[in-house]
């Protein structure tokens, strides 16, 4: 596990490169694209363990933080969706430079999956596999979800006289957001997303969420060559809760499914 | 202000982020250590450690944010120790490394919950740790704590509270079935709670070693610590311990989960840090 900064001095991003186990090394790499805000905190442990599982199977893995998030440079409010989309491209270039791998998978979680789709549209060499774990496909609906989570998670009965507003203004559970971020999120729609990949676009979500992705699967299959695959998950993640809230940080079934999807095995 | 990734400790298994003050401002000789709160990696809950480190660096401090063994981006130890001893070992490794690569002479630590307890345990064993800002460490309610709590419940939920109390008094069947249970304190602290006398003895030991202390309680501790002079009242029979500076942070919750809470938390740590060279 090698943590490092990369990118230009005024836009330094934090990355962690997980080299593959020597005995199993092969020419595949996986870039993990994290979700937003509290969801990124919530899944940090899972992403690390996922990386460690993959390296044991000979895969190069890199985790990273978008600008203005986690360990990367920048304040919360400096992040925008377009900047984070470009950060994925920068992280991909950094990982490829280190590994020279021939086969690439991007695994995006929630908003990270959406950003991975957006980045795939701009990438000269799109990834072979695009794994979308519960992607955000409707910006206004996600903002509503985040606003409700903010009102719920920041309200302490008895301590606070009233519940905070569920309208997102400049923060979401302690993570600042800008007007530009809000505008881009309001404009986010599945109709504007065109995933690009060479081999497979894999959608991980609960079975009941399958129908929402029909337009994406149609676009994916229209590309020719790439197949759309849905992997149903039975694990419901409490995305916005405090990490110590009592729910499992690393559900074993989910970890197994993510490893299998990343390595091409059947879940 | 610049940030660098550090690997240190036995086999370089530990990871931290070093935030250095701007070259234009003279660096202070005290470095500040920030660490995990519960299981959250070193950026801290809601990225508070990153924001705090950058804020303190602007004031001239060298700040190291640390992932303890097995947490965040640090590897697990080859030879694990007890939870408390491992934290002490890790923090000492951080201080050793910082003293090798920077001219800092002493250390302060700002810790939340389990981070606060790690700070106390380390300062008791290592002379280099000279100051502790501790939020939501152990709390010892007094009779007034229960009174304040009851009055707040009555004020905010008068009918439900009266209904609950009357059921209790009358010992009616199902007295607790319709009532909201008391909030469960966040379970991110593996330390057991020492008796008041044991905790007072630790604090007294720190005072004897001339460790500077600032104890803060967030509104997340409301159920067990909820008025300004509670510490003084709770430790009134423990001499100088009762006079340790304490602060009630009513606008801050246990994990600083709003930007407003983060501003208040950073202001509290900054005020404490102004004492250091």
> Does the beta carbon of A152 lie under 8 angstroms from any beta carbon of chain B?
no
Q: Which residues of chain B lie closer than 8 angstroms to A1, CB-CB?
A: 15, 73, 75
Task: Share the mean pLDDT of chain B.
Answer: 91
Residue A210 pLDDT:
75
- Give percent of chain A above pLDDT 90: 71
User: Is the separation of the CB atoms in B202 and B120 below 8 Å?
Assistant: yes
- Give percent of chain A above pLDDT 70: 95
Q: Is residue A228 part of a domain?
A: yes
Q: State the ipTM, two decimals.
A: 0.94
pLDDT tens string A130-158 = 999 999 999 999 999 999 999 998 988 77
For the residues B57-75, what does the mean pLDDT come to?
Answer: 96
Contact B219 A159 (CB under 8 A): yes
pLDDT tens string A65-92 = 999 999 999 999 999 999 999 999 999 9
Residue A267 pLDDT:
37
Give the domain CATH number at A50.
Answer: 3.40.50.1820
With helix as H, strand as E and coil as C, how does B4-62 read? EEEEECHHHCEEEEEEECCCCCCCCCEEEEEECCCCCCCCCHHHHHHHHHHHHHHCCCE
User: Is the separation of the CB atoms in B188 and B114 below 8 Å?
Assistant: yes
Residue B19 pLDDT:
97
Nearest to A174 among B5, B183, B259 (CB): B259
Q: Is residue A175 part of a domain?
A: no
pLDDT tens string B108-136 = 999 998 899 999 999 999 999 999 999 99
Nearest to B187 among A153, A170, A244 (CB): A244
pLDDT tens string B149-207 = 999 988 888 888 888 888 888 776 655 544 455 555 444 556 688 999 999 999 999 99
pLDDT at A243 over 90: no
The answer to whether domain B2-141+186-273 has CATH 3.40.50.1820 is: yes
- Among B106, B105, B133, smallest CA distance to B119 is for B133
Domain that holds residue A202: 2-137+197-263
The pair of three-digit structure tokens given for residue A221, joined into one six-digit string: 């299959």
Residue A186 pLDDT:
97
Query: Chain B: residue nearest A76 by CA?
Result: B47
Query: Chain B: residue nearest A64 by CA?
Result: B73
Query: Chain B: residue nearest A45 by CA?
Result: B72
Q: Is residue A189 part of a domain?
A: no
- Model pTM? 0.92
Place A3 in a pLDDT band, splitting at 50, 70 and 90: very high
Q: Report how far residue B116's alpha carbon sits from residue B201's, in angstroms, rounded to the nearest whole number.
A: 16
For the residues B235-262, what does the mean pLDDT come to?
Answer: 95
Q: Is residue A21 part of a domain?
A: yes
The domain tally of chain A equals 1
> Does the beta carbon of B153 lie under 8 angstroms from any beta carbon of chain A?
yes
- Give percent of chain B above pLDDT 70: 93
User: Is the separation of the CB atoms in A29 and A48 below 8 Å?
Assistant: no
For the residues A258-266, what does the mean pLDDT come to?
Answer: 82
Q: Which residues of chain B lie closer than 8 angstroms to A71, CB-CB?
A: 17, 42-43, 50
């Amino acid at each position: 596990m090698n943590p490092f900064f990369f990118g230009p001095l005024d836009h330094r991003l934090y990355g962690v490169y997980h080299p593959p186990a020597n005995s199993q090394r092969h020419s595949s790499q996986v870039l993990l694209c994290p979700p937003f805000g509290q969801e990124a905190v919530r899944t940090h442990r899972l992403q690390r363990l996922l990386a460690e599982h993959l390296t044991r199977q000979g895969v190069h893995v890199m985790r990273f933080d978008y600008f203005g998030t986690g360990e990367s440079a920048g304040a919360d409010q400096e992040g925008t969706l377009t900047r984070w989309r470009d950060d994925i491209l920068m992280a991909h270039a950094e990982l490829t430079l280190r590994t020279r791998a021939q086969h690439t998978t991007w695994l995006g979680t929630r908003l990270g999956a959406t950003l991975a789709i957006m980045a795939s549209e701009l990438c000269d060499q799109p990834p072979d596999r695009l794994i979308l774990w519960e992607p955000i496909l409707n910006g206004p609906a996600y903002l509503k979800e985040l606003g409700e989570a903010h009102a719920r998670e920041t309200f302490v009965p008895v301590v606070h006289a009233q519940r905070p507003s569920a309208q997102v203004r400049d923060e979401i559970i302690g993570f600042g957001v800008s007007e530009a971020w809000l505008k881009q999120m309001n404009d986010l729609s599945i109709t504007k997303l065109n995933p690009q990949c060479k081999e497979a676009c894999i959608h991980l979500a609960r079975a009941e969420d399958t129908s929402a992705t029909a337009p994406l699967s149609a676009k994916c299959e229209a590309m020719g060559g790439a197949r759309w695959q849905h992997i149903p998950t039975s694990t419901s993640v409490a995305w916005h809760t405090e990490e110590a809230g009592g729910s499992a940080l690393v559900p074993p079934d989910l970890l197994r499914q993510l490893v299998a999807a990343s390595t091409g095995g059947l879940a | 202000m610049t940030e660098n990734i550090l690997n240190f400790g036995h086999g370089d298994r530990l990871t931290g982020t070093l935030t250095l003050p701007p070259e234009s401002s003279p660096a202070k000789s005290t470095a500040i250590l920030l660490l995990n709160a519960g299981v959250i990696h070193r950026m801290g809950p809601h990225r508070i450690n990153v924001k705090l480190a950058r804020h303190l660096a602007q004031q001239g401090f060298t700040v190291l944010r640390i992932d303890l063994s097995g947490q965040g981006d640090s590897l697990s130890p080859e030879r694990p120790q007890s939870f408390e001893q491992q934290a002490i070992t890790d923090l000492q490794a951080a201080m050793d490394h910082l003293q090798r690569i920077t001219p800092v002479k002493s250390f302060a630590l700002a810790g939340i919950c389990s981070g606060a307890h790690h700070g106390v345990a380390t300062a008791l064993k290592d002379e280099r740790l000279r100051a502790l800002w501790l939020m939501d460490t152990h709390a010892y309610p007094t009779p007034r704590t229960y009174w304040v709590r009851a009055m707040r419940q009555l004020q905010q939920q008068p009918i439900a509270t009266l209904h609950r109390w009357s059921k209790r008094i009358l010992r009616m069947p199902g007295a607790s079935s319709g009532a909201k249970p008391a909030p469960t304190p966040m379970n991110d602290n593996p330390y057991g709670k020492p008796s008041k006398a044991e905790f007072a003895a630790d604090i007294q030991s720190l005072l004897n070693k001339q460790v500077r202390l600032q104890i803060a309680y967030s509104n997340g501790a409301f159920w067990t610590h909820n008025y300004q002079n509670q510490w003084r009242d709770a430790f009134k029979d423990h001499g100088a311990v009762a006079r340790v500076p304490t602060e009630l942070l009513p606008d801050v919750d246990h994990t600083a989960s709003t930007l407003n809470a983060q501003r208040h938390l950073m202001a509290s740590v900054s005020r404490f840090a102004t004492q250091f060279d």
